Amino acid sequence: MPTTETTDNTATLHRFHSAVNSGDPDTVLNAIDEFVAPDVRFHAPVPMGETGAKALKQVWDVLLRAFPDIHVTIEETVAEGDKVVSRNTVTGTHRGEYRGLAPTGRAVTYGEIFVFRFVDGRIAEIRGVVDVLTQLRQLGALPS
């Protein structure tokens, strides 16, 4: 049976994903400020050089420039205690430089799974697995 905490945390995650799917960089940055702790611990394939919410902002800056139509579809969420797990499908069109690749105009579809830990209603830790191999194959950066 869901608790108020798990229900609230899941709702927060859905609001965050809604902002991400806006495609508007300012909306995404504001959502990070609202829903993510400034010192969030971020364990995922991210650009090195920043930590905390700044690293997450850098990730979304790169993604929005490379895939301006990026869309994260939440396939399922599971919540327990202070954690929410989200299995997602990500789609987008490669319109800007990404990982050293010039824009290809190719569409990508790949999966990801993230575990979000919440503290006081904000995302305090993120652990993620992103299918970058599929993404890079679809962009032609790796052989099929």
Domain ranges of the chain: 4-138
- Which whole number is the average pLDDT over 7-13? 95
Query: How high does pLDDT run on average in the chain?
Result: 93
Judge contact between 67 and 60, C-beta under 8 A.
Answer: no
Structure confidence at residue 33 (pLDDT) = 97
Give the whole-angstrom CA distance, residue 85 versus residue 78: 5
Closest CA to 97 of 61, 49, 143, 50: 61
Whether residue 45 is predicted with pLDDT greater than 70 in this model: the reply is no
- pLDDT at residue 57 is higher than 90: yes
CB-based contacts of 122, cutoff 8 Å, min separation 6:
12, 35, 36, 37
Quick one: pLDDT at residue 71?
A: 97
The arithmetic mean of pLDDT across residues 37-60, rounded, is 85
Looking at residue 17, its pLDDT comes to 95
Q: Give 42's pLDDT tier (boundaries 50, 70, 90).
A: confident
Residues 6+ apart with CB under 8 A from 24: none
pTM: 0.92
- At the topology level of CATH, where does 4-138 sit? Nuclear Transport Factor 2; Chain: A, (3.10.450)
Region of poorest pLDDT, from 2-16, 37-51, 96-110, 123-137: 37-51
The percentage of the chain sitting over the pLDDT mark of 90, rounded to a whole number, equals: 86
pLDDT at 48: 64
Give the C-alpha separation, 112 to 132, whole Å.
9
β-partners of residue 84 are 79, 116
